[in-house]
Structure 1
Amino acid sequence: MNSSVTVCGREVRVRGRLIRIARLNGDKYLFLGNPEPMLEGLRKSGKRIDLFTFIQKLPETSPKYPYPMEWDNFAALPVSTFDHWWEQQINNKTRNAARQADKKGVIVREVPFDDALVQGIWEVYNESPVRQGKPNAHYGKDFKTIYREEATHLENSIFIGAFLDQKMIGFIKLVYDETRTQAGLMNIVSMIGHRDKAPTNALVAQAVRSCAERGIRYLVYSNFAYGKKQRDSLSDFKERNGFQRVDVPRYYVPLSRIGWAAFRLGLHKNFADHLPEPLLARLREVRKAWYNRKLLLATEGS
């Protein structure tokens, strides 16, 4: 059961049936300076909320609030200038990959949010029903749905597109926090059919440039590690592009007796977090093979 409530002018989303967990709309991209007014507002909201969770923003990595917490992490790239990143933070192989898009005619630039951008995003999303071995959650959505989803946080967003012959083949949505300290890659997707042109590498390069030009000190590519998951091709890609794992506190503030009990018993975690990593790795392999086979059969039947 999902719902939302506005507190202190911020939208808070509430998820769960047995345990109701709330977090900011834009959690990991937008942050709380002083959490106390938010907590007080949630207590008075009339909504049943058992836990409120929020993450601490960079560059502070030591716990600064007296609430129960667990360690979370960012894949973070310190940004000073584009030239410093290009010359000091990545190697020749990564630089060559970023150049490859330009050599093959791909143009990467910031773009305004409008119907043309959303149409391009819609085409990128609807290229394939499977991405990285699992169902593409955006596949099959109509234009209006994509428009509504991408129109969030526009006042804090930067859109970057990769174009080949005027056709969008990849895009980034960057969302920066209220103090312009860090910007997170909320979306970064490129067409599978143009992988040989390395548009994703070129998009990351432009994201670094966009942050440097605005004085944004950290570019964040979601998490470096997810739960117990071992290294994979995505974490390797992040590392090659200069992103580092930075551990930061994630707070869980109980707002009810159920919340206190849930946190102490670990019931606020996903079911998968309680399983051993070797089993999870095997299940991911089976899932990937299953969806790839479904995609192959669908392609052969079309």
Structure 2
Amino acid sequence: MTTCGNVRLQEIRIAGKTFHVPSAEICGRTVVVTGKWIRTAQIKDEEVVEGVTVIDPESFITKLKESELKADVLTFAQRPPEITPKYDYHWEWNNWAAIRTTRFKEWWENLPQVSRKNVRRSARRGVLVKVTPFDDDLVKGVHRIYNGIRVRDGRLFWHYGEDVERVRQGLGTYLDRSDFIGAYWRDELIGFLKMVYVDRVATVFHILSMNEHYDKRPMNALIAKAAELCEQKGISHLIYGQFIYGNKRRSSLVEFKRRNGFEQVNFPRYYVPLTLRGEVFVRLRLYRGLSGLIPEPILQPLLSLRTWYYKKISTKLTLQHKKFAGVAQR
């Protein structure tokens, strides 16, 4: 494999914000570098890269160092099914939230009774869940969902305020190996799911619904439809991000995943220092971030405080918007 040492800027999205970061082709993979004080190199969109992400780490690291791409740390995962650590680099357990989808009936029957009731309730209340094409109607429907509420999961929602074209651009990635599932009530899109197929697994890229239709349980229905579709396509697992994020072991999202049959699947993630600064960074385990360094008994009250703060800000902004709208109408 050849290495292209030429560095160019690559557009990426982090926490809903667009950044242009240095990138280079290393051993057939696009490597991007993020961060200011610690420059971390990783495979672009690693979670949807097909095949083994780094086939020969030693050669990969050598060519990365020889390139013009300057980084302090390289991180890459050794994804399932081969989960026994096999490289002599510093590593920690990473994890997936996964449903085994080879036997849909077995997954369905093992769900908690309340979860099965929620899916049936969705159908009884008139929600139609189906695979839907990527078209203008879908984009406009997702745009309405994105702009329905300012705060989600205790923080400002990344996609709130995006215009239709930005929504189209965000949804339009990896279309050649994606499926969209829509939840419709009276012909209105009230929830959607996008999943991308990666080898023999499917990764949930987006899943969201309108808060005002929570009573119809569209999220539960979307997960059930996705699991059913995966079985039909011969997909082994449906992945919905991580099961545990840092020390956040208790949250509404974790509980939702658990009740819908997702299980924690661990696999090693490697952190390879490339400079002295990177060596210190790895030794101190600073790659864990605040949520991985702060003990859970302290972290949970801080997260609750953040939720309260963002809800207060959201309420204030909403009242201001209504006030100015009223002035404009007069």
In the superposition, the TM-score normalised over structure 1's length comes to 0.91
The equivalent of 2:4 in structure 1 is: none
The structure-2 alpha-carbon separation of the partners of 1:140 and 1:213, relative to structure 1 and needing over 3 Å to count, comes to: same
User: What displacement does 1:20 show?
Assistant: 0.6
What amino acid does structure 2 have at the position aligned with 1:117? L
What do the CA deviations read for 1:24-60 (whole angstroms, capped 9, x no partner)? Answer: 2223333516143644543343111121212222222
Unpaired segments ≥5 residues, structure 2:
1-18, 323-330
Equivalent residue, structure 1, for 2:292: 273
Cα distance per residue 1:46-92 (max 9 Å; x no partner): 111121212222222211333221111111111213222222x3132
Q: May I ask how many residue pairs the two structures share in their alignment?
A: 299
Structure 2 letter corresponding to 1:169: I
Structure 1 SS opposite 2:181: strand
Matched with 2:150 is 129
Alignment match, 1:3? 21
Aligned residues of 1:2 and 1:14 also touching (Cα < 8 A)? no
Instruction: Tell me the SS of whatever aligns to 2:225.
Output: helix
1:157–1:174 CA contact under 8 A, matched in 2: yes
Cα distance in structure 1, aligned partners of 2:121 and 2:24? 46
The residue aligned with 1:248 is 267
- Please list every run of at least 4 consecutive aligned residues from structure 1 whose deviation after the TM superposition is greater than 4 angstroms: none
- The equivalent of 2:282 in structure 1 is 263
Aligned pairs (5 A) from 1:165-244:
165-177=186-198, 179-180=199-200, 182-244=201-263
Question: Which one of 73, 79, 82 corresponds to residue 104 of structure 2?
Answer: 82
Measure the CA separation in 2 of the matches of 1:262 and 1:2. Answer: 24
Matched, 1:56 2:78: yes
Contact 2:246–2:288 (CA under 8 A) maintained in structure 1: no
Mapped contact 1:2–1:16 kept (Cα < 8 A) = no
Distance (whole Å) between structure 1 residues aligned to residue 21 and residue 252 of structure 2: 35
Distance 2:297 2:129 in 1: 40
TM-score computed with the length of structure 2 as normaliser: 0.84
Matches for 1:8-47 after TM superposition, within 5 Å = 8-30=27-49, 32=53, 34-36=55-57, 38-47=60-69
Query: Equivalents in 1 of 2:60, 2:207: separation in Å?
Result: 31
Q: Which has the higher contact order (CA 8 A, sep 6+)?
A: 1
Q: Could you say what the CA RMSD is over the residues aligned between the two structures, in angstroms?
A: 2.0
From 100, 108, 119, the equivalent of 2:129 is 108
Tell me if structure 1 keeps the 8 A contact 2:248–2:291.
no
Distance 1:270 1:109 in 2: 38
CA contact (8 A) 2:22 2:69 kept: no
Distance 1:158 1:66, change over 3 A: farther
Segment of structure 1 superposing worse, 135-144 or 245-254: 245-254
How far apart in 2 are the matches of 1:52 and 1:125?
34
Unaligned 5+ residue runs, structure 1?
A: none
Cα distance change of structure 1 residues 147 and 13 upon mapping to structure 2, 3 Å threshold: farther
Distance in 2 (CA, whole Å) between partners of 1:66 and 1:173 is 36
* C-alpha distance in 1 between matches for 2:212 and 2:237: 31
Kept in 1, the 8 Å contact 2:84–2:268? The answer is yes
Give the conservation status (yes or no) of the 8 Å contact 2:247–2:292.
yes
Is 1:20–1:51's contact at 8 Å kept on the other side of the alignment? yes
Higher CA-based Rg: 2
AA aligned opposite 2:96: F
Code of the aligned partner of 1:100: R
